[in-house]
Structure 1
Amino acid sequence: MAVDVLIAEDEPSILESLDFILRRAGLSIESVTDGDAALAAIRRERPRLVVLDVMLPKRSGFEVLKQIRADRLTHDLPVLILTAKGQAQDRQIAEELGASSFVTKPYANADVVGAVQRLLAEAAG
């Protein structure tokens, strides 16, 4: 089965929460816990969307986003960035790098599910 959403998040409780709410919304999920694994999984799984934390081990979410946008095969892949509350600078950098949307942590489950569903619908045309 094709992967709908790849989650790149290194905090176990947040990863578990995201996995749960998105599966409950009927999406197929793959998850990784560092930036290098995110890039490998994107190439391998070809997800329809990536939920990307900014603070990741090995390679930051910003570096992963930069790679996604630089690659012809993934250039148009929707990317939802997770940023910590109050990090306005993170949001600005992510916008400049081509993030599709943002959710601020701590987040409401409905906000994440809504953003994911909206981006998937937009990508489907």
Structure 2
Amino acid sequence: MSEPSRYIAESAIFGDTNLVDWTITPAMRTVAANAKSVEDARNLLEMLGLIEPRATAPVEATVACKRHCAKCDRPGRHSSESLQKWPGTVAIVGRGMCRACYTAVLDEERQTRDAVA
């Protein structure tokens, strides 16, 4: 076993932040040498307690809805339901589509009809 690895094996304890610099630096080098990605290295260093964990952003509450816009696939709600009850959804107004998609389809049909006439 090489010199730095021997010190790590003998004295490093998971989560021990009171280690001296001559022990921490070889541990960080060993992690960096064995990590498969940057995220892997960060996770290993966090587990060892050698760096501060990243603050996690609060996860937005997901809304379980059964309807989706037929064209853009955004989560939808019935047009009579309130947005407060179904945040992050669009009202489904016609042909199973949200207002923006439904209006676009009607405009296309109107242009096609006018071009033929």
Same-fold call, TM cutoff 0.5: no
Report which of the two has the higher share of strand. 1
TM-score interval, smaller chain: under 0.3
Give the greater-gyration-radius structure (CA): 2
| Larger RCO of the pair (alpha carbons < 8 Å, separation 6+) | 1
